[in-house]
Amino acid sequence: MPLTLLFGVHAHQPVGNFPAVIDTAHARCYGMFLRVMERYPEFRFSVHFSGWLLDYLLTHFPADMTRLAAMTRRGQVEWFGSGDCEPVLAAIPQRDRVTQITTLTEKIERHFGVRPTGAWLTERVWESSVVPALSATGIRYVAVDDYHFLCAGVDGEKLDSFYTTEEDGLRLDLFPIAEAARYRLPFSPAADAVGWLEELARQGRRAAIYFDDIEKFGIWPETYDWVYVKGWLTQFVEGVLASPLIRTATFADYHAREKTRGIVYLPTTSYIEMNEWTLPAPRAAEYRTLLDAEKAAGRFETDKPFLRGGIWRNFMSRYPEANWMHKRMLEVSQRLARLPAARRTPQMQENLHRAQANDAYWHGLFGGLYLPHLRRAVWHNLLTLEAALERLHPSPALECRDLDDDGHDELLLRSQALLAIIRVDGDAALAEFSSLALAHNFGDTLRQHAEIYHAKVGAGETAALAGKNGIASAHERIAFLHPITAADAEPDRRPRGSGLDNWLTTDGARLALDAYRPDGPPGHFVARGEGWRVEKCYALHDDVLEIAYRFIGAECPGRLETQLNLALPSCDGYGGRYVLADGRIPCGFGQVLELPALTQLTLEDSELGATSNGALRLSVPPVAGSAAPTLVARPHHTVSQSEAGFEKVMQAICLTLTWPAMTGDWHRLMLKVVTAS
């Protein structure tokens, strides 16, 4: 009996990605793939397009979407559903899982005339808690990795068909995606891939199950030339169709005609590479050493189900910045859920869905969390929704609670225009500084984290493994998009907030002021030493945040240094620039700016604000008998990897103000958010 090839592709672009990137992806991958497959109506396959990407393609490339609709009508293509904006379903509330899945299902039905019965799980993150939402929305089966089944003790020889699981009596069937197929297609020669499938048929396997990123067919390095110019996809499709040992089918057809292999309960996991990415760098290095030792000893394939690392949710533990976004998202989701149904709007739901897009919450092989424009899209949608909710039910002007579950309270200061959130810890720095009018978080930056791949810096560049037949997977490449040294990847010792303070002693030492304690009215903090204290006070005045300092005592001569890390959307692009008090423009955000005396500086950004121009203005009111602080502004970069290689990404502007010998008066720094229609 022929082997059934269940071939599925998953197409996704992050919410907030640049239009030029999506256009290129379509030119090099999505459109090319569909035009090749259109020529072979007997090659049946399944597709999943995330909803945000699908909206873009329907608007900008209607001819190719019409082509896909025709392929759907003739039965060649099966549609898989999922969460509309590609959330990790396990990381969002049950109510939002249902609305996310339903939104995409209805979108597919509206444009392509079918309701999906299968679903793609974002990053193949499996937790049994997602079963009720999938079942409630008409999903009957999903595809996860064969690794999930191996971790449950299932015999690898029996991973050639679907199994059944349940949660609270609700049934869902599970297809095991073959890791061997993921690493062969499209990286090995087409004839070899077809030959491998034929060998599976000779072994009596029922099905070969493949479901992976379509971006591997044209967007990943080297793949456009390999897949289309050199004809890999055409050769593979024709080779499969010509083989008497292989037939193609959609998952839906196969599921309808076959019986389950039996019951299975999978552990919480994702694909095997994710197990390493979720671990902190030192533990990830130990995990990698363990895996390498097992491979060298020839035990890896047997033992890998028992060599599990972390789980996807560990990214919230690894990266405080991801955790902060996640807990803020959960908060606005809860606020929306409490709103009477009659007062909710489709736009509110859309903003929430977009704020739940997975990409900005984690980091592995690709940029993800390290890409400012992806985080900015989450914050834009989150704050747009929050502004709408505030108009209906204003929040208290002052709150104090542990919002992100890290063991430290946060002080929330609100005006009609601004939200300033201060961590009540030793640094007493801003965790968030958001403008509701601009739907922008000026505190949305990222510290330099230690990453296991930083050990590759200096290892040189190679396009492929020596002796490899075919092309290299992105997992195997070491390339550099920018010159990078080990110093560039040095981890930050403190968070990248605003209001991070140091005391500069007369002998040149820099002492971290990281022992602030609440003292007096809300927003007032004090750091003490022998015979001295530094007082620090936050206050909101409509569209102005004031940070004030006062030094009391004479036993600690020196100067106060204050660091502000501010996120502007243009980063080092053309749209961001400094404007001096006299109107001169000395440079852009990507350059270093030094001022001997700061009185006023405006940070203008043409990308700030969807419906209005925005800017952030810093000013220092004069203090009698005291000089203005000096300023050094420089870009803050992090080093990360992507499928194309290592790169330096600008995260924020780092402004360092050094105050002169301070008197007992209050020294004020004013940050005014400027919005002009």
Q: Are strands 77-81 and 398-401 parallel, antiparallel or unpaired?
A: unpaired
C-alpha span between 154 and 147 (Å, rounded): 10
Residue 484 confidence (pLDDT) = 79
Catalytic residue, chosen from 109, 166, 213, 665, is 213
Co-location of 432 and 523 in the same domain: no
Co-location of 107 and 245 in the same domain: yes
Q: Tell whether 299 is covered by a domain.
A: no
Residue 488 confidence (pLDDT) = 84
Q: What's the number of domains the chain is made of? A: 3
Co-location of 384 and 516 in the same domain: no
Q: What tokens does 272 get? A: 């095997």
Residue 303: which of 311, 312, 292 has the closest Cα?
292
Cis peptide before 305 (omega within 30 of 0): no
Among residues 207, 236, 270, the one where a domain terminates is 270
Co-location of 363 and 499 in the same domain: no
Specify whether 123 is catalytic: yes
Residue 663 confidence (pLDDT) = 73
Which run of H or of E encompasses 503?
A: strand 498-505
Residue 644 confidence (pLDDT) = 63
The dihedral built from the CA positions of residue 20, 25, 26 and 28, taken in this order, carries a sign that is positive
Q: What is the CATH number of the domain that holds 653?
A: 2.70.98.10
C-alpha span between 424 and 401 (Å, rounded): 9
Domain boundaries, position 250? 3-270
Other beta carbons within 10 Å of 574: 10
Q: Tell whether 195 is covered by a domain.
A: yes
Whole-structure pTM value: 0.94
Catalytic residue, chosen from 123, 166, 488, 492, is 123
C-alpha span between 348 and 278 (Å, rounded): 31
Query: How does DSSP assign 527-594, residue by residue?
Result: EEETTEEEEEEEEEETTEEEEEEEEEESSS-EEEEEEEEE--TTTTSTTEEEEETTS----BTTS-EE
Among residues 216, 241, 270, the one where a domain terminates is 270
Co-location of 539 and 597 in the same domain: yes
Backbone angles phi, psi at 31, to 5 degrees: -65, -45
Co-location of 112 and 218 in the same domain: yes
Angle between helix 320-338 and 94-112 (nearest 10): 80
C-alpha span between 607 and 587 (Å, rounded): 17
Q: Are 4 and 206 in contact (CB under 8 A)?
A: yes
Co-location of 77 and 186 in the same domain: yes
The segments of the chain whose pLDDT lies below 70 read 458-482, 555-556, 609-612, 643-644, 676-677
Co-location of 535 and 671 in the same domain: yes
Co-location of 266 and 320 in the same domain: no
Q: Tell whether 365 is covered by a domain.
A: yes
Burial 256-283 (b: 16+ CB within 10 A, else e): eeeebbeebebebbbbbebbbbbbbbee
C-alpha span between 455 and 458 (Å, rounded): 8
Co-location of 239 and 352 in the same domain: no
- DSSP lists the bridge partners of residue 80 as 118
Which run of H or of E encompasses 296?
A: helix 281-296
Q: What tokens does 526 get? A: 């004090």
